[in-house]
Amino acid sequence: MQITLRQFEIFSAVVEERQVTRASKKLFITQSAVSHALTELEEQLGGPLFDRDSRSLLLNDRGRYILPLCREVLSKTKHIWKIMNEKEGLIAGSLNIVASSTIGNYVLPHLAGVFKAMYPEAYLTIQIYNTRVAEQLIVDRKVDLGFVEGEVRNEKVLVTPWFEDELVVIAHPNDILAISNRFNLSRDMRRAKWVMREKGSGTAQIFKNKIGAHITDLNVVMELGHTEAVKNALKEKENVSL
C-alpha cells in the first residue's frame, strides 16, 4: 500500500469544500484528477470515506476517523518543509534545556519569554532538576543545553561561565543570627540549626565548599528540594537558618 501526501491533500480539500468541483478549483487541478485520487485512496484504505449524494460529499465514519490523522501528517510535513527551507536568520526547531532549581525557577522564565518573542518558530522545553541530575542528562545527551549553579565534574561536559550571583544567610526574624549586631563565624555557625538544599544541589554544594574553610560540622536539621520550601520552613520555625 502506497498512500501519497498528494492523496491526503486532495482528501482534505474535498472534506473542506464538500464537492469535487470546488476542491479541484482550490488545488488548481482537474476534477478527474481529484476523483481519481479519492478513488485510489479509498481502495488503498479498504472502503469508502464519504457518503455521496447528487450535490455533495459527506464524511462517513471511516472518513471521520482518518481525517485527523491525515491532517496531522500534512501538518508535520509542512513543518518539516518550513524548517528545511527557512529564510536566512530565521530560528526554528526545538531546544531542550535542563536547569538546576534556582536558575530554572528564578532566572530562565524571563529569558525564555524573551527568546520566544524573538524566535516564535522555535519550540522550547525546560526541565528542572538539581545540578547533579542536570549534569547527567547532559552527559546522556537527553537535553541540548544545561544551566546550573553548582560545580560540573564530568570532563565530557563543556562548561562556560555565564552569570554571577550571590548567596546570603537568611533566618527567622527572632533568630539570634537576625537580631545580633555582632557575628562570631565559628561559634554562631556551629550553634545554629540549618535548613539546607538537598544533596546534589549546586546551592548546597557552593555553600558547604565556601564555609568549609571555617567550619565543617554544621547542625543540619532539614534538607529540602526547593528554595521556596526552605524559605517557607524558616517562616514557621525560630532558631533555624539557611
Give dist(CA 42, CA 33) in Å, integer. 14
Looking at the structure, do residues 66 and 108 belong to the same domain, yes or no?
no
- Is residue 133 situated within a structural domain? yes
Give dist(CA 235, CA 171) in Å, integer. 8
- Is residue 170 situated within a structural domain? no
- Is residue 225 situated within a structural domain? yes
Looking at the structure, do residues 184 and 218 belong to the same domain, yes or no?
yes
What pLDDT, on the 0 to 100 scale, is given for residue 88?
Answer: 58
Does position 85 have pLDDT exceeding 70, yes or no? no
- Is residue 98 situated within a structural domain? yes
What pLDDT, on the 0 to 100 scale, is given for residue 98?
Answer: 93
Please tell me the total count of domains within the chain. Answer: 3
What pLDDT, on the 0 to 100 scale, is given for residue 86?
Answer: 62
Looking at the structure, do residues 160 and 189 belong to the same domain, yes or no?
no
- Check: CB of residue 205 under 8 Å from CB of residue 150: yes
Looking at the structure, do residues 72 and 126 belong to the same domain, yes or no?
no
- Is residue 171 situated within a structural domain? no
- Is residue 115 situated within a structural domain? yes
Phi/psi of residue 85, each to 5°?
-120, 30
Enumerate residues 6+ apart whose C-beta is below 8 A from 20. 14, 31, 34, 35, 38, 57
What pLDDT, on the 0 to 100 scale, is given for residue 231?
Answer: 81
Instruction: Report the CATH number at residue 155.
Output: 3.40.190.10
Enumerate residues 6+ apart whose C-beta is below 8 A from 241. 169, 170, 171, 172, 175, 177, 192, 193, 194, 195, 234
Q: pLDDT band for position 70 (50/70/90)?
A: very high
What pLDDT, on the 0 to 100 scale, is given for residue 146?
Answer: 93
Instruction: Examine the fold and report which residue of 16, 43, 78 is the final residue of a domain before the chain moves on.
Output: 78
Looking at the structure, do residues 118 and 69 belong to the same domain, yes or no?
no
Domain, as residue range, for 106: 86-164
Looking at the structure, do residues 10 and 50 belong to the same domain, yes or no?
yes
Instruction: Examine the fold and report which residue of 143, 164, 185 is the final residue of a domain before the chain moves on.
Output: 164
Per residue in 14-38, pLDDT (tens digit) is 988 888 888 888 888 898 999 999 9
Does position 41 have pLDDT exceeding 60, yes or no? yes
- Is residue 160 situated within a structural domain? yes
- Check: CB of residue 167 under 8 Å from CB of residue 203: yes
Q: In degrees, to the nearest 5, what angle opens at C-alpha 70 toward C-alphas 49 and 35?
A: 45
User: How would DSSP label each residue in the chain?
Assistant: ----HHHHHHHHHHHHHSSHHHHHHHHTS-HHHHHHHHHHHHHHTTS-SEEE-SS-EEE-HHHHHHHHHHHHHHHHHHHHHHHHTPPTT---EEEEEEEEHHHHHHTHHHHHHHHHHH-TTEEEEEEEE-HHHHHHHHHTTSSSEEE-SSPP--TTS-------------B-TTSHHHH-S---HHHHHHHSEEEEEPTT-HHHHHHHHHHTTT-S--EEEEEESSHHHHHHHHHH-SSEE-
- Is residue 9 situated within a structural domain? yes
Instruction: Examine the fold and report which residue of 21, 49, 78 is the final residue of a domain before the chain moves on.
Output: 78
Looking at the structure, do residues 23 and 72 belong to the same domain, yes or no?
yes
Give dist(CA 38, CA 29) in Å, integer. 13
Q: What is the mean pLDDT of the chain?
A: 83
